[in-house]
Amino acid sequence: MKINVLFSPATADELYFTGKTTVVIDVLRATTTIVTALQNGAKEIVPVATVEFAVKISGGMFGGQTLLGGERNTKKIEGFALGNSPLEYTEEVVSGKAIVLYTTNGTKAIAKAKFSETLVTCSFANISSVASFLSGLNKDVEIVCAGRSNNFSMEDSVCAGKLISEISKLNEELYLSDSAKASVALNKSFGKNILKMLEESEHGNILLDNGFEEDLKYCSKLNSSSAIPYFTGNVLKLYTDNKNSSQTGKEN
Amino acid sequence: MKINVLFSPATADELYFTGKTTVVIDVLRATTTIVTALQNGAKEIVPVATVEFAVKISGGMFGGQTLLGGERNTKKIEGFALGNSPLEYTEEVVSGKAIVLYTTNGTKAIAKAKFSETLVTCSFANISSVASFLSGLNKDVEIVCAGRSNNFSMEDSVCAGKLISEISKLNEELYLSDSAKASVALNKSFGKNILKMLEESEHGNILLDNGFEEDLKYCSKLNSSSAIPYFTGNVLKLYTDNKNSSQTGKEN
């Protein structure tokens, strides 16, 4: 089982992902928000790469059961029901709803990886579940760090390293690329105190400046969810393991 | 003084570098070869982004005093006088010559950063000199890791981290981006035994498979040169500090 990490979605094109097993990570905040929304009963998340497309499909396809969510430069987009704070995606708000989600980095990275054979999202909230899922598949894995404006971000890379460390506990025969080895080392250097790492990161600083201190605390929680957001038919849904559905959190 | 590291040239376009102070690193092997060639008396290096352009300009502009050098997939290009092994660039071969150089990653990264106000190249061979030079300038720095086919490479990132650590000894007021902090941590994790790190890297493995064991040993040497390859008028020359030229190695 080979594991590779892309520190930026910019280093690969859409076709690179064809037929691959891919994990997208955007700790601050898209993939933390996605797992929270699905855990809280959202029917599905539609990740989109442009605001225009988000507005277009929310108007027609989904009727009254659709919410528009997302952010540009950390702030909620005008006319959208929700921003990109996972704390907004409570059961009361999202239960039973389809959510069309646009974010600056995360949903773009998911959309880019859409030709993957298997595509799931990960954050600190669900590392353990995603590690079990990938280890069970036992296929080569590409981990895509959404980063920030195509640049490296510490939090996504540390999360990738922690995910690889978890997989290595379940699967002894791992071949790690340079970037995968680097991620594991970064998790050892910075992953012991996740909240501190987030607070000292570039993106964390911007969120703190914009009043999202509680979001950082929430995004730093490790394995608070057993849900696995799984991309199928252009939407993210909760992954259901038919053999043992209790492993994968709240099911629809 | 802010320092940022790009782990791949793919995450920025040419105009990103306009007016910036940029360091390009391609340890295996372009920037090790470049510093070796200039140290050994080459008049200048013309870094080019395509083989076709290398052949074109070598035929006309430089007459009999020009050598064509470079590689594609680690191997010397047919019709070229030299490959990309620094061991080929001896004083006997390169003294007084202009060298048109094409390599898969390094010279492309240099060509991409050509709009920088100041552009130098670095490898383990000349870290200390480049650190002194940058600290003296005291401007914000972009370090570009040439990587391998736009992907992250361990050796360039560890070299970037070691360069930043050297600068931090000379300049106390550094602001490090996420990628710069990660590079420093990677140097701490992998930079103690440079040869071992090269041997275990993806690119190092490919070079070993192709018989370049001696190149890895050569490229692992720390501060074997005081030369600083400096980009000016579309070529790389030895940087000459008029105030104290003895600091910057062999001068023309």
B58 Cα distance to chain centroid: 21
Residue of A nearest to B9 (CA): A11
Mean pLDDT of chain B: 93
| A182 in contact with chain B, both atoms CB, cutoff 8 A | yes
What residue ranges in chain A does DSSP mark as E strands? 2-6, 21-25, 44-48, 66-72, 75-76, 98-102, 118-122, 141-145, 175-176, 229-232, 235-238
| B161 in contact with chain A, both atoms CB, cutoff 8 A | no
In Å, how far is A139's CA from the nearest CA of chain B? 20
| A11 in contact with chain B, both atoms CB, cutoff 8 A | yes
- Residue B226: the pLDDT is 96
Strand partners, A69: A82, A101
**Better-scored residue on pLDDT, B241 or B214:** B214
| A150 in contact with chain B, both atoms CB, cutoff 8 A | yes
| Contact between chains at A7 and B189 (C-beta distance less than 8 A) | no
For residue A68, the one-letter residue type is L
| A175 in contact with chain B, both atoms CB, cutoff 8 A | no
Residue of B nearest to A204 (CA): B178
Please say if the pLDDT value at position B98 is more than 50.
yes
- Residue B65: the pLDDT is 82
Q: Which residues of A touch B151 (CB under 8 A)?
A: 6, 11, 177-179
Say if A228 falls within a structural domain. Answer: yes
| B234 in contact with chain A, both atoms CB, cutoff 8 A | no
Please say if the pLDDT value at position B146 is more than 90.
yes
CATH number assigned to the domain comprising residue B201: 3.90.1560.10
Count of the separate structural domains present in chain A: 1
| A151 in contact with chain B, both atoms CB, cutoff 8 A | yes
| B165 in contact with chain A, both atoms CB, cutoff 8 A | no
Query: Which one of B150, B178, B187 would you mutate to disrupt binding with A, by most A Cβ within 10 Å of its Cβ?
Result: B178
- Residue A62: the pLDDT is 53
Say if A193 falls within a structural domain. Answer: yes
User: DSSP 3-state assignment of A231?
Assistant: strand
**Rounded CA gap, A143 and A121, in Å?**
9
Residue of B nearest to A175 (CA): B202
For residue A220, the one-letter residue type is S
Q: Which of A7, A190, A202 sits opposite B7 (nearest CB)?
A: A7
**Better-scored residue on pLDDT, A219 or B59:** A219
DSSP summary character for residue B77: P
Q: Give the β-pairing of B141-145 and B21-25.
A: parallel
- Residue B55: the pLDDT is 85
Say if A252 falls within a structural domain. Answer: no
CB atoms within 10 A of CB A135: 17
Mean pLDDT for B94-110 is 95
Name the residue among B100, B99, B126 with its Cα closest to residue B23.
B126
**Better-scored residue on pLDDT, B28 or B62:** B28
In Å, how far is B9's CA from the nearest CA of chain A? 9
| Contact between chains at B11 and A201 (C-beta distance less than 8 A) | no
Name the residue among B187, B111, B166 with its Cα closest to residue B144.
B111
| A183 in contact with chain B, both atoms CB, cutoff 8 A | no
CB atoms within 10 A of CB A158: 29
- Residue B199: the pLDDT is 98
Peptide bond into A72 cis (omega under 30): no
DSSP summary character for residue A222: S
- Residue B242: the pLDDT is 58
In Å, how far is A8's CA from the nearest CA of chain B? 7
- Residue B100: the pLDDT is 95
Sheet holding B21-25, edge to edge: B75-76, B66-72, B98-102, B44-48, B235-238, B229-232, B118-122, B21-25, B141-145, B2-6, B175-176
Please say if the pLDDT value at position B207 is more than 90.
yes
Query: Which one of B2, B28, B152 would you mutate to disrupt binding with A, by most A Cβ within 10 Å of its Cβ?
Result: B152
- Residue A249: the pLDDT is 41
8 Å CB contact between B213 and B171: no
CB atoms within 10 A of CB A79: 9
Please say if the pLDDT value at position B117 is more than 80.
yes
pLDDT tens digits, chain A, 252 residues: what are they? Answer: 999 999 999 999 999 999 999 999 999 999 999 999 999 999 999 999 999 888 888 775 555 688 999 998 888 998 899 999 999 999 999 999 999 999 999 999 999 999 999 999 999 999 999 999 999 999 999 999 999 999 999 999 999 999 999 999 999 899 999 999 999 999 999 999 999 999 999 999 999 999 999 999 999 999 999 999 999 999 999 998 755 444 444 433
Residue of A nearest to B152 (CA): A179
Mean pLDDT for B233-240 is 95
In Å, how far is A27's CA from the nearest CA of chain B? 14
Name the residue among A76, A135, A145, A68 with its Cα closest to residue A113.
A145
| Contact between chains at A10 and B5 (C-beta distance less than 8 A) | no
Chain A to chain B, count of Cβ pairs less than 8 Å apart? 72
Say if A9 falls within a structural domain. Answer: yes
Q: Which residues of B touch A189 (CB under 8 A)?
A: 185, 188-189
8 Å CB contact between B46 and B98: yes
For residue B109, the one-letter residue type is A
Say if A30 falls within a structural domain. Answer: yes
Q: Which residues of B touch A154 (CB under 8 A)?
A: 178, 181-182
Q: Which of B185, B202, B203 sits opposite A185 (nearest CB)?
A: B185
8 Å CB contact between B152 and A5: yes
| B205 in contact with chain A, both atoms CB, cutoff 8 A | no
- Residue A162: the pLDDT is 98
Q: Which of B6, B154, B177 sits opposite A182 (nearest CB)?
A: B154
Please say if the pLDDT value at position B249 is more than 90.
no
| Contact between chains at A202 and B177 (C-beta distance less than 8 A) | yes
Out of A17-31, B12-26, B44-58, least confident range: B44-58
Q: Which domain, by its residues, includes A173? A: 2-247
| Contact between chains at A189 and B188 (C-beta distance less than 8 A) | yes
Task: Say what the pTM is.
Answer: 0.94
- At residue B62 the predicted structure's pLDDT band, cuts being 50, 70 and 90, is low
8 Å CB contact between A10 and A201: no
